[in-house]
Amino acid sequence: MKNSTITIILCLLLTVSTHFAAAQKVDGKSLADIQREWKIQKRMEYEHLLLRLADTLPDSVTCLELAPYGPDLPDMKRFKQLKHLSIAHLETDRIKTEVFVSDSLVSVNIENCTFKRIRFPRNRHIEDVSITNCSLHNMPRSLKRCKHLKHLNLQNNQIRRVPCWVKRRDSLQTLNLNFNRIRLNRAAVRRLARLSNIQLGGNNLEKMPANIGRLRAEHLNLGKNRISSLPQSFSKLSNLTHLVFYENDFDSIPRVIGALTRLKELDFYKNHICEIPDCLGNLGQLEQLYLSFNKINLIPDTLRNLHQLKYFYIHHNSINFVPVWLTQMDSLQRIGLDHNKLLAVPDFSQMKSLTELDLSDNDLEEVPWELVKNNKLQIIGLRNNPFLISPEEKTFLKQQPHIVY
């Protein structure tokens, strides 16, 4: 046995090809029979791997990835140097403390498992816990025993409430509750107040509680909900640097957003927004602005104040005019103007930092030749425009490696 630390991976893949999935029977066997035989085979392989693991020097194991497709796990007490544990497709009623007994354990990842209870022991080393796609209805209470827990991912479960212990866990920085059934009320805000990164996407939320301004978060994801307005207290979220409202029900950008002057990223993709308010010009530190898939027809002059802007995506709107000042914003690196109603565009070829520009699916008749000749750009999208050009010019465009035509 080598002295160096080794990583043992026990990973079983229970898959059936798409060809099998599309057929009722294969070689006279039903799909259910094929799946049953496949699982028996994988169980035999898993048991063989457990035997191999039994012959391994336990202190050499620092990482385990287990996918038993059954109820049994190896004796975890043996692995005293284990740092990273991943479990998938475990079928059991209860995951006991013995599974997490290693004092050196730093991260735990559990996914696609069926269990009713899980119990963590007292631990001062675990920093990252992820329990996803496990149909949890509550955040496990025993997690509060992990005194130094920093990042908790509970995405894709059935959790409805934020428990009191979250408020008292000073070490906790990130909480991912995307795609659950969270009720974001005043009590939940108080319990989330200390966290720096809060993920609440896909929870069917319709409105924000009046005390939302108590949050100290720097990252706040509220995408894929049904929010259409914000309370005035939202303007008090002065620490926010990243704010996501992707796929909600806004028909306008609330003016309270203009008070969030530390924002670096703002995402209003896939809403029903018709115009960009002047208040966005107050966001002098903004680096990424995502306004695609809306109903916007004008890029207002107020955006020329965004001197730090690097990414500007406003594709799939109704823009018919691009102001010349946009080409004078030296910080811009990526611009998405595709799927609009542009008849002409200014000269982008002199922009110092620009690497990607998409003008596809517009109404352009004239090819921006100066831009095409700019070798600094990595990607220029020109597809599906009614360009008035010769067959030779079409061939030339298709031959350019940085042109998507």
Would you write out the chain's pLDDT as a tens digit for each of its 405 residues? 333 333 444 443 333 333 434 445 556 678 887 777 777 776 677 666 666 666 677 788 899 989 888 888 888 888 889 999 999 989 999 999 999 999 899 999 999 999 999 999 999 999 999 999 999 999 999 999 999 999 999 999 999 999 999 999 999 999 999 999 999 999 999 999 999 999 999 999 999 999 999 999 999 999 999 999 999 999 999 999 999 999 999 999 999 999 999 999 999 999 999 999 999 999 999 999 999 999 999 999 999 999 999 999 999 999 999 999 999 999 999 999 999 999 999 999 999 999 999 999 999 999 999 999 887 899 999 999 999 999 999 999 999 999 999
353 falls within a domain: yes
396 falls within a domain: yes
402 falls within a domain: yes
258 falls within a domain: no
| pLDDT of the residue at 6 | 36
Tokens 């140097």 correspond to 81
| pLDDT of the residue at 375 | 77
Interatomic CA distance for residues 108 and 355, integer angstroms: 39
391 falls within a domain: yes
Interatomic CA distance for residues 55 and 64, integer angstroms: 15
379 falls within a domain: yes
Count how many domains the chain has.
1
378 falls within a domain: yes
> 290-298, long-range: CB within 8 Å, 24+ apart, which pairs?
290/246, 290/265, 290/266, 291/317, 292/316, 292/317, 292/336, 293/269, 293/317, 294/268, 294/270, 297/341
How far CA 239 is from CA of 277, 354, 371, in Å, comes to 22, 29, 39
| pLDDT of the residue at 26 | 58
Whole-model pTM: value is 0.89
Q: Where are the beta strands (DSSP E) in 137-233?
A: 151-153, 174-176, 197-199, 219-221
Q: Residue 381 is part of which domain span?
A: 331-405
The pair of three-digit structure tokens given for residue 158, joined into one six-digit string: 């059935």
Residue type, 56: T
208 falls within a domain: no
| pLDDT of the residue at 45 | 73
The pair of three-digit structure tokens given for residue 283, joined into one six-digit string: 């966001």
